[in-house]
Amino acid sequence: MTDTLQSGRNRIQWAKAHMPIVAALGQEFAKTRPFEGLTLGICLHVEAKTGVWLEALTKGGANVVITGSPGTTQDDTAEAIRADYGVQVLGHRNETFDDHIEQCRQVLRAKPQLLSDNGADLHSLLFSEEEFADQIPQVIGATEETTTGATRLRELAPQQSFPTLVINDTQAKRIVENRYGVGSSVVDGIMRATNVMLHGKRVAVIGYGYCGSGVAMRLRGMGAHVTVVEQDPLIRLEAHMEGFPTEDLEPAIGDADMVVTVTGYDGIITREHFPLLKHGVILANAGHFATEMELDYLRSEATQVRRIREQVEAFEFRGKTLYLLSGGNLVNLAAGDGNPVEIMDLGLALQALSLAAMAKNAREYANAPQPVPRGIEMQVARLAVDHWIRKGLS
């Protein structure tokens, strides 16, 4: 046994010890076998909590092929998943965005009948590339994890010929995982990457959705002076009512010691914005992909780029030094371990039960992106109450 394999197994065992909901679903699936004879094509971060979820799916009879996202794959965990669950795991820690898209194509080439997507990358390729046109009728249903993916799916909706349950549209996902899970894990990732003090830092948080609000709250809890940038006037008003100063993008980033993007959209920090940043600013992304910042431009215009810590690059740009964390990839997963284990126990239970519903009753749902049935959400919430509160696991 290699040290890497044992390390991956240790990670998964630790996660499983703190994921009683998904572990219990795995025992149930072993009896009911909801995925018997089905191939599941998955795009989701390949890390320890995902490994516990994949074990539950394979106990339910699923044949699984999965790829992760740039910068977030735990290579030792991937090795353990391959060895112990018979899952085809694509991708690696240092993959590029182009690598990621090609691996998504490989997932689709496995001809899955069920999809579990992250950012709608699988959906987008399925509906846009001629190679996969014949496969569309074979897909019976899908799930989507993220805010970014939900937005893209609504744009693709006229093309959909199967139902997709949007995990991100549940209150359980938005409140428990996005606000509290992402908020704490982003702060953890930033501190692991930098080892700098957050107290007294002026931080611009760009985006005040459920994830952004959680990031802003946790940073404020660490003593940072947080300014929120939000285009939606109602959400900006919400941030104001929560006690955050709000500002337009340019003045907010010009005064910031740290800028954190949490929007899920491309091109938030562009070539016009880099000259406005102050010397020594720290740039972190907690949205979906590194494309929230125009990093190709920054790399091409920098006179020098140095890696000064494992997750920190220094860019010499027009007489100033700008620090980028984790190559612009998701800082909570690239520099840390992602959302807390118990948080993902709830989120991945939503995924597991939604996929089981698709496997059993996909024809009962409209061929469009739609919320997870209320009954599934309430079932998971009750399980969380039982395991986190009544059994004293929180």
Please report where in the chains the tokens 């006690």 appear, as a residue.
243
Helix, strand or coil for residue 215? helix
pLDDT attached to residue 157 = 74
Helix, strand or coil for residue 56? helix
Instruction: Return the bridge partners of 315, or none.
Output: 305, 322
Contact predicate 118/146, CB 8 Å: yes
pLDDT attached to residue 388 = 81
pLDDT attached to residue 42 = 97
Domains of the chain from N-terminus onward: 3-173+340-390 (3.40.50.1480), 178-334 (3.40.50.720)
Q: Sign of torsion, CA 102 106 111 117?
A: negative
What letter would DSSP give residue 178? I
Binding residues: 146-148, 209-214, 230, 286-288, 332
pLDDT attached to residue 72 = 84
200-217 pLDDT, tens digit per residue, is 999 999 999 999 999 999
- Please state the φ and ψ torsions of residue 146, each to the nearest 5 degrees: -115, 165
pLDDT attached to residue 288 = 81
What letter would DSSP give residue 372? P
Contacts of 95-104 with C-beta under 8 Å, sequence gap 24+, read 95/68, 95/70, 95/71, 96/70, 97/70, 97/289, 97/290, 97/291, 99/70, 100/67, 100/68, 100/69, 100/70, 101/125, 103/67, 104/43, 104/67
pLDDT attached to residue 379 = 93
pTM for this entry: 0.86
pLDDT attached to residue 393 = 46
Helix, strand or coil for residue 310? coil
Please report where in the chains the tokens 């562009």 appear, as a residue.
270
Tell me, rounded to whole angstroms, the distance of Cα 254 from its chain centroid.
28
Instruction: Return the bridge partners of 260, or none.
Output: 205, 284
Binding residues for NAD(+): 146-148, 209-214, 230, 286-288, 332
pLDDT attached to residue 148 = 83
What letter would DSSP give residue 27? H
Beta strand ranges found along the chain (DSSP E): 39-43, 63-67, 88-90, 114-117, 141-144, 164-166, 202-206, 225-229, 258-261, 282-285, 304-309, 312-317, 320-325, 369-371
pLDDT attached to residue 154 = 87
Low-confidence ranges of the chain (pLDDT < 70): 391-394
pLDDT attached to residue 389 = 82
Distances (CA, A) of 162 to 135, 250, 385, 386: 12, 42, 33, 34
